[in-house]
Amino acid sequence: MTTLLDRTPAAPPTTRPTGRRAAGLLGAVALLALVVLASLALGARDIAPGDVLDALLDRVPGSTDHDVVMDQRVPRTVVGLVVGAALGLAGTIMQGITRNPLADPGLLGVNAGASLFVVLAITFLGVTSPAGFIWFALAGAALAAAVVYGVGAIGREGATPVKLALAGMATTAGATSLITVVLLTDTDALNSYRRWAVGSLAGRGTDMLLALAPFLVVGVLLALATGRTLNLLAMGDDVARGLGQNIHLARVVAAVAIVLLAGCATALAGPIVFVGLVVPHVVRPFTGPDYRWILPYSVILGPVLLVAADVVGRLVVQPGELEAGIVVAVVGAPALIAIVRRVKLAGL
């Protein structure tokens, strides 16, 4: 019986025109530019696009509008761009190496591992600021991914998609249980963790981004280099081996990229869900199943989704705001249902 996890997709078609894909990528960049402008201009205090441009090019000291743009919205937007791109790439790679269209950064236990270490840092070390969370979140994500891959690699067949998915779900369940136990015994830790875990771009300074920049750069480079490998894996392990691909090395490289990208994104903004799940499905109608195109599209459309969600969150409950993680979840839940229905109708 063929299951969702072990069905082998067909090889990427070569009939889709490259020019159309390139034009679509340019359109995605234009859309991203509009979303960035909206992020800089809209909020509890609306600022005209002309004033936004003046603030970027010739800031006037003491101007309230310029201060809002440069001190609050520019760092927030930059973090949204980086986190969205990282989650989009991580989700795409996860769906590629597991051959599971429902995979996201939570599948391999990355979010759960990061969350567990943040809870431990809050409870036992007294860490309370997002800047203090980042290294614990990154370390937790790396450890969880290592455990998942180690467990999934046990046996003669090695780290198959099914075993990785099952190991990831088991790790997530175990880490979530530990998080619950710790939080139930410490109210202060619960309050601090709750503010981080909801997923927000607010209050994340550029100092945090600069600290994680080397890891993010390496993760992006590794991710963009996996396009051909993911195409081969999509045809099945046996075919990929026959074409000279080292399956185990390919999955290790992909796993390292996932840990760096999803771990850094989670450390920066909290465990934001659905971006890594939804973005690859939005991209595929424009690119087909060729990961050499899906990955660059994901770099652009991941930030579009996350930054747009952040803008919507600022506008719907003024003068307050909804965190970006909540808005993405509201959009992502119906998208997940639609994806599941499409997968079922496709006979997977």
pLDDT, tens digit, 9 for 90 and up, residues 234-289? 888 788 888 888 888 888 899 889 989 998 898 888 888 889 989 999 999 889 88
Residue 117 CB contacts under 8 Å (≥ 6 apart), including other chains: 136, 137, 139, 140, 143
User: Could you tell me which CATH class the domain 81-345 is placed in?
Assistant: mainly alpha
- Give CA separation, 168 vs 46, 125, 287, 292, in Å: 43, 27, 28, 26
| 196 vs 124, higher pLDDT | 124
Asked if the model's pLDDT at residue 31 lies above 90, the reply is yes
User: 73-98: per-residue pLDDT in tens?
Assistant: 999 999 999 999 999 999 999 888 88
Asked if the model's pLDDT at residue 205 lies above 50, the reply is yes
Q: 331: which 2 tokens? A: 């959009």
Q: Cα(307)–Cα(299) distance, rounded to whole angstroms?
A: 13
Please give the biggest Cα pair distance in the chain: 68
Average pLDDT of the residues in 119-140 = 83
Residue corresponding to tokens 């090019």: 57
pLDDT for 187:
82
SS3 sequence of the chain = CCCCCCCCCCCCCCCCCHHHHHHHHHHHHHHHHHHHHHHHHCCCCCCCHHHHHHHHHCCCCCCHHHHHHHHHHHHHHHHHHHHHHHHHHHHHHHHHHHCCCCCCCCCCCHHHHHHHHHHHHHHHHCCCCHHHHHHHHHHHHHHHHHHHHHHHCCCCCCCCHHHHHHHHHHHHHHHHHHHHHHHHCCHHHHHHHHHHHCCCCCCCCHHHHHHHHHHHHHHHHHHHCCHHHHHHHHCCHHHHHHCCCCHHHHHHHHHHHHHHHHHHHHHHHCCCCCHHHHHHHHHHHHHCCCHHHHHHHHHHHHHHHHHHHHHHHHHHCCCCCCCHHHHHHHHHHHHHHHHHHHHHHCCC
What percentage of the chain exceeds 90 in pLDDT?
35
Asked if the model's pLDDT at residue 68 lies above 80, the reply is yes
pLDDT for 300:
96
Average pLDDT of the residues in 44-72 = 91
Distance, first Cα to last Cα, the chain: 11
39, amino acid identity: S
pLDDT for 5:
46
In this structure, the dihedral spanned by the alpha carbons of residues 39, 40, 46 and 49, taken in order and rounded to 10 degrees, is -120
| Residue 310 contacts residue 39 (beta carbons within 8 Å) | yes
Q: Cα(28)–Cα(77) distance, rounded to whole angstroms?
A: 17
